Amino acid sequence: MTIDYQIDDPENANLPHPNGHGPLGADMERRDGRDKVTGAARYAAEHAPDGLLHGVLKRASGMGTVCLTNVQEVEALAGVRLVLQDERMIRNAAQGTAGEAPVQGVDTADYIGQPVALVVADSSEIARDAANLLKVQSVGDDLPVLPKHGETDPDMQENSVTGKPQDAFDKAPVLVDATYTTPSLTSAAMEPHAAVAEWDGDRLTLYGSLQMLRYNRAELADCLGIEPDQVRLRAPFVGGGFGSKLGISADCVAAALAARALGRPVRVVQHRRQVFEVNTRRSETRQRIRLASHSDGRLTAIGHEGRVSNLPGEEFAEPLLQASYFNYAAPHRLLRSEMVRLNRPAAGSVRAPGAAVGVTAFEIAMDELAQKTDVDPVELRLRNLPDKEPGNGRPFSSHRLADCLTEGRDRFGWSDRAAQPRQRREGEWWIGTGMAAAVRVNLVMDAEARVRLTPEGRAVVETDMTDIGTGSYTILGQIAAEALGLTVADVDVTLGDTDLPPGSGSGGSVGAASTGTAVWLACAEIRRDIAARMGRKPEDLELEGGDVIVGNDRRPLMDLLSGETLSGHGKLAPGEALEKVRQATWGAVFAEVAVNDITGEARVRRMQGTFAIGRVLNQRTARSQAQGGMVWGLGLALTEAMVHDARDGHVVNRDLAEYNVPVHADVPYLDVCLLDDQDE
C-alpha cells in the first residue's frame, strides 16, 4: 500500500503537532556526524572493488574536431589498459532534473577543457602520466567566447510587461537606472566529482558523487543506451554539491563505459582543475535595473533586464528574474532576459540559481534608491512590500520579510549606524554597514519513501534521497521518530541508493519539504495500520515513548506488532498549491565591513542573518545551512570570480589557489536567527 498525496491546496494542518518536546524541530546533533569526525564516512571515490582500475579524463586544449594522434603509443605503455574515446561520452554534466543524456560525443570540442578521452591504467599514477603523454589536436574555426560576439538565442528569452513601465520611468520623480555585471562563478564543492563503476553481467553499479539519484539513474542509462533498471546508483555520502552534482557527470559515463569495455571495475576521479571545466558554472550576467519611485521611495515601476550565457545545446538560463516578479510592490513592471550562446564551459545551477546574482543586483539598486530618496534602506524595503503577488494577486503562503527586516535590524544594532558614508574611521580603516533582503522561491518535487517498523520497535527509513551536507539523515530520522513516537536513536535512515524508493534528491532546497513529507506519509500509513489493529481511527491514536495511547489505554507498540513488521510507503506529488499561492523564503542580512583606505582591502567584521524559511526541522543543521549561505554571499561580494580568457574563453583560474573561496580568516562569527514560520 502507498499513501499518495498531492498538494493541491495550501497545506496548513502542520502535522504532526509538536508538543514542543518531540524530536521534530529540536536542536539536535547531526546523526552522521560521528562518521564524519572519525573518517568512517565513505564518499564516492572511496570504494575499491577487487580488480579496480584507474581512469583519468583528458581535456581538450583547443576547440574543434579532436584528433588523438598517439593512442597506440600510449596504450603500449606498461600498465596502460585503454584509451577510450566513445560517442556515448558526454560533453559536460547534465542539467538538474534532465532525466536524459546531455550532449554526447567527444570527437569535437565545443569549449576548452572539454573531456575528449579517458585513459585507464593499473594505478592512478600510471593513468595520470599516460594522460599527460596523450596528444590531442583540435582543428576548427573560431567560435564566440565573448558576450559581445555571441548570438542571442530566440528560444531562451523571457519577457513580461505589466502596466506601462516605460511611461512610469519617463515620469518618475525619482529614477535609478543602473547596470551591473557579475562574473561566472563556480560551486567548487570540496569533494571532486568521482565515480566507481562495476558491472555484473548487464547490470551496472556505480558509486557517484551525485545530488539527485532518481534523475541521474535515467540520465546514465540514457547515455549508455540501457534501461534505468539496469543501473544502480549509490551515493551514501556526498562531499557537497551546490548544483554541480545535480546531473550525471563526465566521470560517471566514462567510468561505466571503460568498466564495460575492460570487464573490470573502474574509478574515475575528476582532478580539481577539471571540476572547474566539465561541470556547470554559474553564468556571468549583465543586468540593467530601473527603479521609479515617488520622492518617499514608494516604487511605481520596476525594470529588470538581464543577459546570461550558455553553451549551444544547453537548455538552462540562469533564472535572474525569478524573485523580481514578487519581491516589491509596483504597479508597472518590465522583466526581460536573454541568452547569448558562447563556447565557454556549460552554465547551470549553482547554489540559489538566479537569486544569488539576480536578487543581489536588485538589492544594490534598492540601496541606490535609498541614497537618492534619503530613506533608510530598511525602511525603504518595508515601504515597498507587497501584500499579494504583484500582477496576478496571488496570496503568499507566508510573507515574513518585514519581520526578518525588523528583527535583523534590532539584532544587528542598525540604528547605531551613521547614515552617510565615510563617517567612522579606525586607524587606516573606514567602517561601514550595509544590508540586503534575501528572497528565494520555494518548490516541492515528486518524492517517495518507505518506512518499516520492525518487531523490535525500531523504524527504518529508506529512500534514494541524498545528504550532501544538508542534514537529510538527521531530519528524516527526526520526522519518523516524531510520527511514530520513537526517539531518533530508534530510527535508522538509509539513503543514497536507487534500489530504494526514489526521493526528491537534493537541489533547489526541495529535499526537506518533499522527501520529508514522503517519510511523514509513509509513517501515516503505519499509524493507520496500528489504529486498525486496535479497532480505532488513526486520529484517536497517540504514539509516544514507544507506546500506543488511546484514551486511557496505553500499551507498548511491540506488543501490538507481535513479531510482525509494518511497512508504509509515502508518495508526494506537487499539486496545484504551487499555482494557487506564491511560496517563498525570506531573509535579511546585515554586515559591518572595514575597508582599508590605502589598499582597498575589505574585511567583513560582523554579519547577521535573520531568515523565515518555513518550519525548522532541526535548529542546529538549519543554522549551519544559513551560515553557509551567508559565507557564499560574502564570497560572491568579495572574493570569487571565474576568469575567462578573452581569446578562447578557457577558465584561467581553475583551481582553489586562483579561484578564491572564502577561508576562515575571511569570515567573522555569523549570527543567525531563524524565525518561526509556519503557513497559516
- Per CB under 6 A, the list member of 390, 469, 485, 508 interacting with ligand FES is 469
Determine if residue 210 is left, alpha or beta; phi over 0 gives left, psi from -120 to 50 gives alpha, anything else beta.
Answer: beta
Distance CA 305, CA 297 (A): 21
| Residue 192 C-beta: closest distance to other proteins, Å | 7
Q: Given the complex with ligand FES, which of 448 and 640 has the nearer CB atom?
A: 640
Between 7 and 357, name the residue whose CB sits nearer to other proteins.
Answer: 357
Which of other proteins, ligand FES, none sits in contact with 130, Cβ below 5 to 8 A by type? none
Q: Cell triple for residue 431?
A: 567602517
Choose the binding region for other proteins from 16-24, 519-527, 530-538, 657-665 (rule: CB under 8 A): 657-665
Residue span binding other proteins (CB under 8 A) among the ranges 249-257, 316-324, 430-438, 615-623:
615-623
Binding of other proteins at residue 652 (CB under 8 A)?
no
Q: How many whole angstroms separate alpha carbon 223 and alpha carbon 204?
A: 13
For residues 127 and 282, what is the distance between their CA atoms, to the nearest angstrom?
A: 31
468 closest CA partner among 301, 240, 289 = 240
Minimum distance of other proteins from residue 674's CB (angstroms): 14
CA distances from 24 to 140, 374, 630 (A): 59, 45, 25
Q: Of 91 and 271, which CB lies nearer to ligand FES in the complex structure?
A: 271
Q: How far is the CB of 631 from other proteins (least distance, A)?
A: 3
CB of residue 294 to other proteins, shortest distance in Å:
39
Cα gap 453→527, rounded to integer Å: 10
Q: Which residue has the cell 493507520?
A: 528
Using the minimum distance from each CB to ligand FES, give the nearer residue, 192 or 390. Answer: 192
Find the shortest distance in angstroms from Cβ 609 to other proteins. Answer: 11
Q: Which one, 95 or 466, has the nearer CB to other proteins?
A: 466
Distance CA 368, CA 374 (A): 10
Footprint of other proteins on residues 220-239 (CB under 8 A)? 237-239
Q: Residue written as cell 532541526?
A: 618
Nearest distance, CB of residue 190 and ligand FES, angstroms? 4
Closer residue to ligand FES, CB minimum distance, 386 or 469: 469
- Count of alpha carbons within 13 Å of 538, Cβ hemisphere only? 12
Q: Which three cell numbers stand for residue 369?
A: 534608491
Q: Give the one entry of ligand FES, other proteins, none that residue 55 binds, where binding means its C-beta sits below a cut-off of 5 to 8 angstroms depending on kind.
A: none
Residue closest to ligand FES when measured from CB atoms: 190
By CB under 8 A, residue 43 contacts other proteins:
yes
What are the respective helix, strand and coil percentages of the chain, to the nearest 5?
25, 30, 45
Judged by CB under 8 A, does residue 478 bind other proteins?
A: no
Q: Which of ligand FES, other proteins, none has residue 434 at its interface (CB below 5 to 8 Å by kind)?
A: none
CA neighbor of 626 nearest in space, from 640, 612, 641, 637: 612
Pick from 9, 29, 229, 499: which binds other proteins (CB under 8 A)? Answer: 29
Burial of 411 (0-12, 13-18, 19+ CB in 10 A): middle
Instruction: Give the residue with the Cβ less far from ligand FES, 190 or 418.
Output: 190
In the complex, least distance from residue 269 CB atom to ligand FES, rounded to whole angstroms:
12
d(CA 334, CA 359): 15
* C-alpha dist (Å) from residue 596 to 76, 422, 602: 59, 12, 6
CA 315 – CA 157 distance, rounded (Å): 11
Residue from 250, 245, 325, 314 nearest 283 by CA: 314
Q: Which residue, 292 or 475, has its beta carbon nearer to other proteins?
A: 475
Least distance in Å: CB of 317 to other proteins? 25
Residue 45 binds: one of other proteins, ligand FES, none (C-beta under 5 to 8 A by kind): other proteins
- E strands of 278-363, at which residues? 285-293, 299-310, 332-341
x/- string (CB under 6 A) for ligand FES, residues 361-380? --------------------
Helix orientation angle between 619-634 and 355-373, rounded to the nearest 10 degrees: 70
| DSSP string across 605-622 | EEEEEEEE-S--SBHHHH
For position 468 contacting other proteins by CB under 8 A, the verdict is yes
Instruction: Tell me which DSSP letter residue 226 carries.
Output: S
At position 570, the amino acid (one-letter code) is G
Asked whether position 190 contacts ligand FES by CB under 6 A, the answer is: yes
Stretch that binds other proteins, among 95-103, 121-129, 135-143, 150-158 (CB under 8 A): 121-129
Of 267-275, 304-312, 316-324, 526-534, the window that binds other proteins (rule: CB under 8 A) is: 267-275
Helices and strands: H and E segment counts in the chain: 15, 29
Site string for other proteins, 175-204 (x = CB under 8 A): ------------xxxxxx------------
Q: Residues 377, 457, 471, 570: which binds other proteins (CB under 8 A)? A: 471
Helices (H), 211-335: 213-224, 250-262, 272-278
Report in angstroms how near the CB of residue 240 gets to ligand FES at its nearest.
Answer: 5
Q: Is 471 in the site for ligand FES (CB under 6 A)?
A: no
Q: Are 417 and 428 in contact (CB under 8 A)?
A: no
213 close to 502: Cβ distance less than 8 angstroms? yes
Residue 75's binding partner among ligand FES, other proteins, none (Cβ under 5 to 8 angstroms by kind) is none
Interface with ligand FES includes 663 (CB under 6 A)?
no
Instruction: Sketch the per residue contact string, 206 through 245, with ligand FES: x for CB under 6 A, - otherwise.
Output: ----------------------------------x-----
Among 247, 358, 570, 662, binds other proteins (CB under 8 A): 662
Contact between residue 180 and residue 362 where contact means Cβ atoms under 8 Å apart: no
Cα separation, 484 vs 546, in Å, equals 8
Q: Which is nearer to other proteins, 161 or 661 (CB)?
A: 661
Q: What gap in Å lies between CA 387 and CA 613, rounded to an integer?
A: 18
Beta-strand pair 566-574/3-7: parallel
Residues that bind ligand FES (CB under 6 A): 190, 240, 469
Residues that bind other proteins (CB under 8 A): 29-30, 32-43, 45-46, 48, 123-125, 129, 187-192, 237-242, 269, 271-272, 468-471, 620-621, 623-625, 627-632, 655-657, 661-665, 667, 669-670
